[in-house]
Amino acid sequence: MTSTILQDHQASGQASTDFWRTAVVYQIYPRSFADSNGDGIGDLPGITSRVPYLRSLGVDAVWLSPFYPSALADGGYDVDDHRNVDPRLGTLADFDAMVSALHAADIKVIVDIVPNHTSNRHVWFRQALTAGRGAPERDRYLFRDGRGQGGEEPPNDWESIFGGSAWAPAGDGQWYFHCFAAEQPDLNWENEEVREDFRCTVRFWADRGADGFRIDVAHGLRKDMSEPYPPWGEIADIMRPDGSHPLWDRDDVHEIYADWRRIFDSYNPPRYAVAEASVHPTRRARYAAADSLGQAFNFAMQDAGWRAEDFREVINAGLADMINTGSTTSWLLGCHDTPRVASRYGLPFEAGSLSQQVARAWLLTDGVAPYLDRALGERRARAAIMILLALPGSTYIYQGEELGLHEVGDLPPEALEDPMASRSTSEKGRDGCRVPLPWNAADPSYGFGSGSAHLPQPDWFAAYAVSVQDVDPDSTLNLYRQALALRRQVFPGSDISWVDSEPSVLHFARADGARCITNFGTEPVALPSGEVLLSSAHLDHGRLPGDATVWLRML
Ligand code: GLC
Ligand code: CA
C-alpha cells in the first residue's frame, strides 16, 4: 500500500531548470576549511586549492559562511565591511580566482549576506558613536535613551540571543540594541541609507559571479521599537504564528526581500536566495515565496531524534511546504550552529528533548556524559544522509559531515571562540563543529595547513582524514560520493509516496520504481525484491540491518 504525498505537477516550477531547486550545496566555514599559508586560519586560496576535492565529492554548489573583514567576535558574522574580503582570508582577487575555479568545475557559489547587523568596527558604527545623540549617523542603528537620571540603565530588559542584555551603552546616556553579541549592533531598516547599501552589496557579489545568497537571520531586520516596551517575559518566545513579535518575523520584512527580488531577477540567470528563518513552521512558506527569497532552510531535521516517526513528521511538513510555496525544501542535518549530526545520533535518545538539546547538554560536560557511541552515531548519520538525498528538493551538507566527523566535545575553555560560550551560562557554544577539517592523517594540523589550527584538533581526527577515507571503499566519504553521483539519475522529478511498513521502518517510493528504505530498529528487516543501488551498511543475507538505509529499484 502506498499513499502519494507529492506529485510532480503539485510542485509548480519543478519543471524549471533552476539549479537550486534540487541542488546539493556544500557549506564551507572558510576559517576552518583549508589554510593555504600556514597562519592557522583557513582562507580563500585554501578553498581554491580544494576545488578538485569538491568536484570529486559531486556537489552542485558551495555556500561560504562570511569571509568579510571581521574581528571574529561571532565567527565572521560580525561584518566590518560587507563588500570586501578579510585580509587574513585573502583579497577580492582571490575571491575572483576561487569563483573562476569553482565555476570551471561546474560548482555554483553562494555568498552569505548578513543584513541584520554590522560589526562594531564598521565605519558607520564608529561614526554613530562619535557623532553623538540625535545625529543622523545614529539613525542607521537602534540607539535609545537609557533609563535612570543619567541614562545609566538600559532602555528595557530585553535579552540577547547569546545571553545577557540586548543593549550596550554608548557612553553618553544612550544605548544601542544588539540581538546577538555587543559587537554586532543591529541596523535600522527604516533608514533608506541602510536599504540602499544592501542593494549595493547584493549587486556587488552578483556582479562578481555569486550565483545565489544565503540570508543570515532573514527573520530579523524589521523591528517595532515603539514604547511602551513589552517586558521580556512576554516576548522571550520568538516563534509566533501571526507576525506580532516586536523583533522577529514581522510581515514587513518581506518588502525588503521583494525589493531584492527585483535585483536578483535583473540578472541572467536570476540569482537565487535561501532564508535562514527560525520562525513558526506555519510562517516559513512566506520566506520561500517566489516574490520573497524563494527558498528557506528546513531546520527541523536538526531537532529530530533518530526515530522513524520523527523523520516521517519532518518530511511530511517539508513536503507540505513545497506544495504551499511552489518552491523546494532545503533539507539539512547540520550547520555551523549545531552539534554535529554523527554525535547527535550517537547519544542516547531522550523522549521530550530535541536531539540538539541532548547534544548541547553533553557539551556542557565537555563530552563526558552521557556516553557517546561514536560508531553508532556515524552509522546512523550515513543512513540519514541517504534519506535526505532521496527526497525531492535540495540538500545542504555542512563541511565534515561527508567524513562522518564528530563534534569535538572537550575543547578547553581557553580555546573557545564563540561569544555564546562567554555570554551564556548555559551553553558551551558552537566551536565543537567548527574545528578545522582533517585532510591528511600524516601532516601537521592533519593537512589543514602547514602550521597549527585556530581551534585545536583532537588526536582522533587522524582516523577521519580524507587521506584515510579516500582509500577505504566503505568510508563515509566514499558513500557520499556514490550517493551524490547516483542521486540525480535515481530520483528525478518530485513524485513521492509513503509505503506502508512496520513502525521502525521508513519506506518511500519515488518515480520509476526507486525506493528508499531505512531501518531505525536493531533487528534486520526483509527487503522487497529489487536491485540494490546503494546501501549505508552491508546487507545481512539480503536483509537490511538496523540503523541503515538502502536505495533500490523494484524489479
Ligand atoms: C546566524 C548565523 C550564526 C550567527 C548569527 C548572527 O544565525 O548562522 O552563526 O551567530 O546569525 O549573525
Ligand atoms: Ca591562512
Task: Report CA(8)–ligand 2 centroid distance (Å).
Answer: 46
Q: How far apart are CA 234 and CA 17, in angstroms?
A: 45
Ligand nearest 423 Cα, by number?
A: 1
Return the residue whose CA atom lies nearest to atom 4 of ligand 1. 77
State which ligand 1 atom lies nearest to the alpha carbon of 430.
9
Task: Report CA(103)–ligand 2 centroid distance (Å).
Answer: 23
Task: Report CA(64)–ligand 1 centroid distance (Å).
Answer: 13
What is the dihedral sign for C-alpha 138, 139, 142, 147? positive
Per the structure block, which three cell numbers stand in for 269? 540567470
Ligand nearest 37 Cα, by number?
A: 2
Q: Tell me phi and psi for residue 465, to 5 degrees.
A: -60, 150
Beta strand residue intervals within 460-513, DSSP E:
496-499, 505-509
Return the residue whose CA atom lies nearest to atom 12 of ligand 1. 77
pTM score above 0.95: yes
Q: How far apart are CA 300 and CA 313, in angstroms?
A: 9
Give residues with Cβ within 8 angstroms of 53, minimum separation 6: 466
Q: Which helix (H) or strand (E) holds 516?
A: strand 514-519
Q: How far apart are CA 78 and CA 183, in angstroms?
A: 7
Q: How far apart are CA 323 and CA 326, in angstroms?
A: 6
Task: Report CA(139)–ligand 1 centroid distance (Å).
Answer: 23
Q: How far apart are CA 7 and CA 84, in angstroms?
A: 44
Mutate to test the pocket of ligand 1, among 63, 180, 336, 420 (most ligand atoms within 8 A of CB): 180
Task: Report CA(217)–ligand 2 centroid distance (Å).
Answer: 27
Q: How far apart are CA 215 and CA 72, in angstroms?
A: 19
Task: Report CA(442)–ligand 2 centroid distance (Å).
Answer: 20
Distances (CA, A) of 175 to 139, 223, 325: 13, 16, 40
Return the residue whose CA atom lies nearest to atom 6 of ligand 1. 77
State which ligand 1 atom lies nearest to the alpha carbon of 179.
6
Instruction: Tell me which DSSP letter residue 433 carries.
Output: G
Ligand nearest 33 Cα, by number?
A: 2
- CB neighbourhood size of 443 (10 A): 15
Give residues with Cβ within 8 angstroms of 447, minimum separation 6: 438, 439, 440, 441, 465, 466, 467
- CB neighbourhood size of 435 (10 A): 25
Please provide the size of the chain in residues: 555
State which ligand 1 atom lies nearest to the alpha carbon of 162.
10
Per the structure block, which three cell numbers stand in for 185? 549592533
Give residues with Cβ within 8 angstroms of 379, minimum separation 6: 536, 537, 547, 548
Ligand nearest 36 Cα, by number?
A: 2
Q: What is the pLDDT of residues 358-374, one digit of tens each?
A: 999 999 999 999 999 99
Do you find a cis peptide bond into 269, omega within 30 degrees of 0?
Answer: yes
Mutate to test the pocket of ligand 1, among 337, 338, 423, 430 (most ligand atoms within 8 A of CB): 337
What is the chain's Cα-based Rg? Answer: 23
Per the structure block, which three cell numbers stand in for 224? 517595532
State which ligand 1 atom lies nearest to the alpha carbon of 77.
12
Residue type, 395: T
Q: How far apart are CA 105 and CA 28, in angstroms?
A: 16
Residue type, 492: P
Per the structure block, which three cell numbers stand in for 66? 562570511
Helices (H), 180-289: 192-207, 232-235, 253-265, 284-288
Residues in the ligand 1 pocket, defined by CB under 6 Å: 74, 77, 114, 180, 216-217, 276, 336-337
Residue pair 184/77 in contact (Cβ under 8 Å)? The answer is yes
Q: Which helix (H) or strand (E) holds 62?
A: strand 61-64
Per the structure block, which three cell numbers stand in for 148? 535612570
Instruction: Note down pLDDT in tens along the chain; length 555 residues.
Output: 677 777 765 554 444 569 999 999 999 999 999 999 999 999 999 999 999 999 999 999 999 999 999 999 999 999 999 999 999 999 999 999 999 999 999 999 999 999 999 999 999 999 999 999 999 999 999 999 999 999 999 999 999 999 999 999 999 999 999 999 999 999 999 999 999 999 999 999 999 999 999 999 999 999 999 999 999 999 999 999 999 999 999 999 999 999 999 999 999 999 999 999 999 988 999 999 999 999 999 999 999 999 999 999 999 999 998 988 889 999 999 999 999 999 999 999 988 899 999 999 999 999 999 999 999 999 999 999 999 999 999 999 999 999 999 999 999 999 999 999 988 889 999 999 999 999 999 999 999 999 999 999 999 999 999 999 999 999 999 999 999 999 999 999 999 999 999 999 999 999 999 999 999 999 999 999 999 999 999 999 999 999 999 999 998
Task: Report CA(213)–ligand 1 centroid distance (Å).
Answer: 15
